[in-house]
Structure 1
Amino acid sequence: MVKISKLIRWIILTGFIFLVLFTCMRLGLFILSNQQSYGLRQLGGAFILGLRYDMRMISILLLVMLILGSIPALHPFSSNRGKKIWMIILGIATVFALFFFSVDFAHYAYLEQRLNASVLNYLEDARISMGMVWQSYPIVRMVLAVILAAVLLIWLIYRSHRMVSKQSYTGTKRNRIISFIATFLIGGFFIYGQFNQYPLRWSDAFSQGSDYKAYLALNPFESFFSTLKFRHSGYDEKKVKELAPVIGRYFNFTPSDNPLHFTRTIEPRAGAFTTKPNVVLVICESFSAYKSSMFGNPLNTTPFFDSLCRQGVLFDHCFTPTYGTARGVWATITGIPDVEPTKTASRNPGAVDQHTIINNFTDYEKFYFLGGSTSWANIRGVLTNNINGLHLYEQENFKAKRLDVWGISDKNLFLEANNVLAQQQKPFFAIIQTADNHRPYSIAEEDLPEFKKREVPADSLRKYGFESLEEMNGFRYTDFSYQKFIEAARKEKYFNNTIFVFIGDHGIPGNADALFPHAWTAQRLTSMHVPLLVYAPGKLAPKRLHTIGSQTDVLPTIAGLCNIKYTNSTLGKDLLDTATTGFAFIIDPDSKMAGVVKGDYFYRKQYEGKKSELVSIVNNDPVPNDAAHAAIAHDMEVFTEALHETAKYMLLNNKKAGK
């Protein structure tokens, strides 16, 4: 070892310290997040791949040390100034690494996804985001833990420097050159990552067979920095034109001479209402289907909403195009899946001008009720810029007191909205967006005498999709709020001439194996599966429909029920039209996968990689490897690409009339 320079010896020890840190962080994530009860043997491949990702990031730092540290003025052993500079640099690197891992842990606990560039979106709503973080996580303890860990690691780095400085070095200049070159090449190999024509990529993690294994293999640096370069949106016009006939076939129209013209006029069909019905559309926060009573969850968290479903039309195979509230609101209002890679479409200045079917409800008063602020994610801009004559009600417009970072409680939001709607003399189209079913899962003190919290054993909570009692009771509290709303609305004159529509803004990732086939968990369909209920007692015969639908279908379906003529220029369809083919487009910008749910299958493919898969959504049987299913996969692949490319085009070209 005496023939290895002190600089390289210290580089090796420093790399070992950081590798231990990265490994401990991965083990910590495994211990805290292993919902599917994988054994370490099953996750061996993920840990080995994770080691390669870790060595890549660590080697970048070590090569910087090697190159800059070889400069005499910056040498950590021959220059006191160099020593001080490197202790400062490594101290900053240590704090930076610990900060990244702490944010990554919180990000994964919230979304079950590794830290990625989309987290930068929260900086645009920093006050609300920080309020949610402060109320949801033990920030003080987390900061103290980061400080203590940083002090320990910096001390270890300092001790390693002292240890190496006391050692002798008898190597020649030739030894120094050889060891420098060897160290450089070894570090370069670890950065490249594999013996292959192509370097190790983030997408290689998704060859592990499940999203959980992929996320376990990745580290926050790999996932974050690999997503930065995909922050800009765009579309391939040539592909959009080529695939236009595919879109036309599924949406029952023939493309015109201009294949980029997707606008079609939908004539009224016989609806259930002879008068102009009111519409109340409720966008329900985190209304995950598998956690609710309607889908057989034994914890019976939503008994009231279940009773509504038995009196209305429930679509039990409805999906959101992707995960996230802003993306869900966008898809519902515009009819276009939000396929922006990192920033939400609502934040894209080029997409802020959008046609919405809501404006085809002429002579209707338009309302939007939110218990907090619509400044979040530029939702206010999307609403006020595109919905004609909108009456927007936010926290400051209500009498109720603020409950938490998300504003007033959902119960009070519903009651205040009901008071406004009860005074209307004209037909109205109202949207109510809830927020309570969300960290920090606040429950208003005023409701605790009537709303009784429940205690459930921890193993039952986990088995049926809940991380904590707070989450389960928060989910139950939303049901309590729905009940108070409908009970109040039934007392008003508008009730009997109103269509109530409820849809989740997104689901919640988690283990639903106790209730659904494994693909719903492994392929993260739980993140997108939500109830869609159309409730109009006395007007619509109760039924439970298995038609596969999407948030993008909500407004066309409502317009069809209301018997109005409307313009559809997006990817929504009327789910109650007998000519409709049921399907749902799904995209995960974080794993770079897009796909479609259709028939008995879910197909998805990486659009920045090669992985693709076809899985059954009706049972756990593997899909046969035969010509018939290969044809199904091919058709779904083409359809996925058509939907994806068309959605990218529509985001920037679905402008209001006259634009």
Structure 2
Amino acid sequence: MTFYKKFSPFYNLALFYFVVSFILRIVLFFHPITQTSFTILESLKIFSLGLISDFFVFIVASVFLWLYLIFISNSKYSKPSGYIILGFFAIVFIYIASGKSIFDEYGGALPRIVLIFIGIKMALFALLLFLPKLRDKIRFWLFAFVIFLYVLLILQNGLSEYFFWNEFGVKYNFIAVNYLIYTNEVIGNIMQSYPVIPLFSALFLVTGIVTYFILKHSKNYISDIPTLSEKIKITVIYLGLFLISIIAIPTLSKTENSKNVFVNELQSNGLYKFYLAFQNNKLDYFKFYKTLPNKEAYAILKQQFPDISGQNTFRNITGDSLENHKNVVLITIESYSAEFMKSYGNQQNITPFLDSLAQKSLQFTNLYAAGNRTVRGLEAVTLCLPPTAGESVVKREDNKNKFSTGAIFIQKGYNVKFMYGGDAFFDNMQDFYSGNGYQIVDKSSFSPEEITFSNVWGVCDEDMYNKAIKVMNTEAKENKPFFNHIMTVSNHRPFTYPNNKIDIPGDIKSRDGGVKYTDYALRKFFEMAKKQPWFKNTVFVIVADHCASSAGKTELPLDKYRIPGFIYRPNEKPAKFNKLMSQIDLMPTLFGLLHFNYESKFFGQDVFKSDYKPRAFIATYQDLGLIKDNLLTILSPKQQVKQFSLTLDSKPGIAPEFQIDYNEKCLKTERKDLINETISFYQTASDMLKYKKYQK
């Protein structure tokens, strides 16, 4: 047999992988979320370098196939070697089953996984050893299973990349790694969002068909098992390619350097992106980002906060009149972009209540979310500090006893609660909020009769608000003010909610329906709240946690971070604040309106103070941005810095303060002062957290 045919399992699977990857790139290339156009050179780069990257990634991913194939032989079943090998498997199995193996030192499920793996290997080896007449058939079906598994994983990965792009507009990233932890919510979300049974039925059918054709052209490997010398040649060639791939993959990733983020994302290989995200889920600012001497960084920060001294943000905040200890209800709305509201140009009338409430409130028209995930929004309104690199503080181990908005309210004698309609275990919210003095009210606090509708994320917003009213009625009787932070869940895929509430049925699973139901539930909440004796003595803060999408053709597209936010005070005159501000400024501004006197460590500021300098922080888990003076400065790993000039792309019929679209053009001559200011903010925030200077 020609020697190259010994590689048939590899090249047949590789060909299938390349076809799937090519089709996936075509689909994502023309996907509605890919909001850009590509030049001919960019298109060539996407598909040519993407294919080369896929080749090298496949080489690395096929290491298990190589290990499986290289150990296929008949000689190992001869006497006495077969019995010696079986005895070895038995000894290892007993050793692991004893509960005193090296794997038990790692704990968790690892010992059980290894035990099951060794048990299966031992059972299969015994079958092949003691049933020589059935050996060829058993080997064929094992070979078929391995090919089936590879085909299934290739198809499953393609589907996963598509759905991830459909949700976030990027290949696998930090979020995909996080989702591995919360399998219940994520799998439940998939089950409720997509037609899973038809989808997986089709997936297994296609897998079976493809496996049949690959087997047909690859079974010569087991019908004519390679000799030892041929296996050595196969191993030398494979390991050579493997080593080249290890070098080539990160080298190719450096060519993902287009100013158009979509070009970089489409060129990249999803599996390698997942690996990078897994490796970089914790980013040490001082190791990966451009820095200044710490003393200089704090000196620049002092220009923003004249009252601080030394390497900290400690300062005294003094109210201009008697403190007002009104109740406060903070509502952070899931995935609520500014573009959903009528004032920002939406013509679909999906936020009628919030549109009307905004006209009665103190409205912040030029407000930017700190990040693109719920935990970033929660971090911003709770800790009021810039979004530092890597995980949100909410999800870090060192997340307790921080200087927080809750801590200020507790100092002032408030009852402080975090309310969430889902399981607060998700995204580590329970650990974070309970560790910072909040009482938790989540789905586990609901009695069965209090739940009228729920999906994988939790109870519907109406049920959460009904519960909140009950809790606040009880609190009002304690003669203590209360601060309740409510996190909504209904405006999240799968966008299911009770039917017959709005004119968009809840079972069609549309984003517009999720937004409109969220608005409807909020209206119901205010209707109930107005009937309560505590209502007139309560301030309501409404803000989005982040936008519905963060996908754009630049690293940090401004329109994907613009969020609505306002403070409603019964019987107070409405107003607008049109200056640029950050999500981290919202609660310090509220404290100013309540005339609170307190010692602060917040990076967020009261925007009504005379020394406030308009700026906003926006970030992903690794790109850290500062908007100021119509410029966007971005700090990235490997000490990279980019700056973009911001030119308003005005849309007709929208008031100037509600325009959200900007053209971002790379700056040719850098603004060194803004680069240093950006470094100062993010470096000092990282320093405060790293050295535990942000404790309460």
Give the 3 Å change call, closer, same or farther, for CA 73–111 of structure 1 in structure 2. same
State whether structure 2 residue 231 is matched by structure 1 residue 193. no
Deviation of 1:586 (Å): 1.9
1:396 to 445, 452, 470: 445
Q: Which residue of 1 aligns with 2:370?
A: 321
2:544 to 493, 499, 504: 504
Deviation of 1:504 (Å): 0.5
Q: Aligned partner of 2:154: which letter?
A: A
Distance 1:330 1:584 in 2: 15
Q: Which residue of 1 aligns with 2:400?
A: 352
Q: Is the 8 A contact 1:322 1:337 kept in 2?
A: no
Give the 3 Å change call, closer, same or farther, for CA 569–624 of structure 1 in structure 2. closer
Distance 1:402 1:27 in 2: 39
Q: Is the 8 A contact 2:368 2:583 kept in 1?
A: yes
What is the DSSP-based 3-state SS (H/G/I as helix, E as strand, rest coil) of the residue aligned with 2:190? helix
Q: Which residue of 2 aligns with 1:536?
A: 569
What is the DSSP-based 3-state SS (H/G/I as helix, E as strand, rest coil) of the residue aligned with 2:159? helix
Q: Aligned partner of 1:357: which letter?
A: T
Distance 1:368 1:11 in 2: 54
What is the DSSP-based 3-state SS (H/G/I as helix, E as strand, rest coil) of the residue aligned with 2:282? coil
After superposition, what is the alpha-carbon deviation per residue over 1:613-654, rounded to whole angstroms, capped at 9, x for unaligned? 414152366648564xx22xx333323333333333334425
Give the 3 Å change call, closer, same or farther, for CA 282–153 of structure 1 in structure 2. same
Q: Which residue of 2 aligns with 1:103?
A: 160
After superposition, what is the alpha-carbon deviation per residue over 1:81-103, rounded to whole angstroms, capped at 9, x for unaligned? 99877655444333333333333
Give the 3 Å change call, closer, same or farther, for CA 193–152 of structure 1 in structure 2. farther
**Aligned residues: percent identity?**
20
Give the 3 Å change call, closer, same or farther, for CA 93–370 of structure 1 in structure 2. same
Q: Is the 8 A contact 1:556 1:573 kept in 2?
A: yes
Deviation of 1:277 (Å): 1.7
Q: Aligned partner of 1:105: which letter?
A: Y
State whether structure 2 residue 11 is matched by structure 1 residue 12. yes
What is the DSSP-based 3-state SS (H/G/I as helix, E as strand, rest coil) of the residue aligned with 1:554? helix
2:436 to 377, 383, 386: 386
Deviation of 1:587 (Å): 1.9
Q: Which residue of 2 aligns with 1:113?
A: 170
After superposition, what is the alpha-carbon deviation per residue over 1:53-87, rounded to whole angstroms, capped at 9, x for unaligned? 21121122457767886778499xxx979987765
Q: Which residue of 2 aligns with 1:494?
A: 534
What is the DSSP-based 3-state SS (H/G/I as helix, E as strand, rest coil) of the residue aligned with 1:530? coil
Deviation of 1:225 (Å): 0.6
2:330 to 236, 258, 281: 281
Q: Which residue of 1 aligns with 2:48?
A: 48
Q: Is the 8 A contact 1:500 1:535 kept in 2?
A: yes
1:127 to 184, 202, 212: 184
2:627 to 581, 597, 600: 597
Give the 3 Å change call, closer, same or farther, for CA 184–432 of structure 1 in structure 2. closer
Q: Is the 8 A contact 2:372 2:550 kept in 1?
A: no
Distance 2:397 2:221 in 1: 55
After superposition, what is the alpha-carbon deviation per residue over 1:418-474, rounded to whole angstroms, capped at 9, x for unaligned? 3432450332212121111111212223x53xx22299xxxxxxxxxxxx9711121
Q: Is the 8 A contact 2:350 2:519 kept in 1?
A: yes
Give the 3 Å change call, closer, same or farther, for CA 191–314 of structure 1 in structure 2. same
Distance 1:376 1:166 in 2: 51
Distance 1:63 1:427 in 2: 62
Q: How does 1:474-493 map to 2 (within 5 A)?
A: 474-493=514-533
Q: Which residue of 2 aligns with 1:30?
A: 29
What is the DSSP-based 3-state SS (H/G/I as helix, E as strand, rest coil) of the residue aligned with 1:96? helix
Give the 3 Å change call, closer, same or farther, for CA 568–624 of structure 1 in structure 2. same
What is the DSSP-based 3-state SS (H/G/I as helix, E as strand, rest coil) of the residue aligned with 2:182? helix
Give the 3 Å change call, closer, same or farther, for CA 587–11 of structure 1 in structure 2. same
Q: Aligned partner of 2:372: which letter?
A: Y
Distance 2:442 2:241 in 1: 61
Give the 3 Å change call, closer, same or farther, for CA 101–647 of structure 1 in structure 2. farther
Q: Is the 8 A contact 1:265 1:567 kept in 2?
A: yes
2:482 to 411, 422, 428: 428
State whether structure 2 residue 505 is matched by structure 1 residue 471. no
Q: Aligned partner of 1:543: which letter?
A: A
Distance 2:458 2:63 in 1: 49
Q: How does 1:451-462 map to 2 (within 5 A)?
A: 451-453=502-504
Distance 1:624 1:14 in 2: 42
What is the DSSP-based 3-state SS (H/G/I as helix, E as strand, rest coil) of the residue aligned with 2:528? helix
Distance 1:57 1:412 in 2: 48
Give the 3 Å change call, closer, same or farther, for CA 199–91 of structure 1 in structure 2. same
CA RMSD, aligned part only?
Answer: 3.7
Q: Aligned partner of 1:314: which letter?
A: Q
How many aligned residue pairs are there? 609
Q: How does 1:194-273 map to 2 (within 5 A)?
A: 199-201=251-253, 204-205=255-256, 207-236=257-286, 240-256=294-310, 259=311, 261-270=312-321
Give the 3 Å change call, closer, same or farther, for CA 279–176 of structure 1 in structure 2. closer
Q: Aligned partner of 1:614: which letter?
A: F
Q: Which residue of 2 aligns with 1:331?
A: 380
What is the DSSP-based 3-state SS (H/G/I as helix, E as strand, rest coil) of the residue aligned with 1:349? coil
Q: How does 1:626-645 map to 2 (within 5 A)?
A: 627=669, 630-631=670-671, 634-645=672-683
What is the DSSP-based 3-state SS (H/G/I as helix, E as strand, rest coil) of the residue aligned with 2:564? strand
Q: Is the 8 A contact 1:287 1:505 kept in 2?
A: yes
Q: Is the 8 A contact 1:548 1:584 kept in 2?
A: yes
Q: Is the 8 A contact 1:559 1:566 kept in 2?
A: no
Deviates more, 1:640-649 or 1:157-166: 157-166
State whether structure 2 residue 242 is matched by structure 1 residue 156. no
Distance 2:442 2:276 in 1: 39
Deviation of 1:9 (Å): 5.7
Give the 3 Å change call, closer, same or farther, for CA 331–624 of structure 1 in structure 2. closer
Q: Aligned partner of 1:285: which letter?
A: E
Deviation of 1:249 (Å): 1.9
Give the 3 Å change call, closer, same or farther, for CA 138–344 of structure 1 in structure 2. farther
1:292 to 337, 341, 348: 341
Give the 3 Å change call, closer, same or farther, for CA 598–84 of structure 1 in structure 2. same
Deviation of 1:485 (Å): 2.0
Q: Which residue of 2 aligns with 1:460?
A: none
Distance 1:154 1:325 in 2: 41
Structure 2, unmatched stretches of 5+, are 76-134, 650-661
Q: Aligned partner of 1:265: which letter?
A: N
Deviation of 1:477 (Å): 1.3
Deviation of 1:282 (Å): 0.7
Q: Aligned partner of 2:566: which letter?
A: L
Distance 2:521 2:33 in 1: 32
Deviation of 1:655 (Å): 5.0
1:367 to 403, 413, 417: 417
What is the DSSP-based 3-state SS (H/G/I as helix, E as strand, rest coil) of the residue aligned with 2:458? coil
Q: Is the 8 A contact 1:317 1:548 kept in 2?
A: yes
Q: If the length of structure 1 is used for normalisation, what is the TM-score?
A: 0.82
After superposition, what is the alpha-carbon deviation per residue over 1:532-588, rounded to whole angstroms, capped at 9, x for unaligned? 10111433x423222222222222111111111123223221122221112122221
Q: Is the 8 A contact 1:62 1:187 kept in 2?
A: no
Deviation of 1:607 (Å): 1.7
Deviates more, 1:297-306 or 1:522-531: 522-531
Distance 2:154 2:392 in 1: 27
Structure 1, unmatched stretches of 5+, are 456-467, 512-517
Q: If the length of structure 2 is used for normalisation, what is the TM-score?
A: 0.78
Q: Which residue of 2 aligns with 1:525?
A: 558
Distance 1:274 1:347 in 2: 34
What is the DSSP-based 3-state SS (H/G/I as helix, E as strand, rest coil) of the residue aligned with 2:419? strand
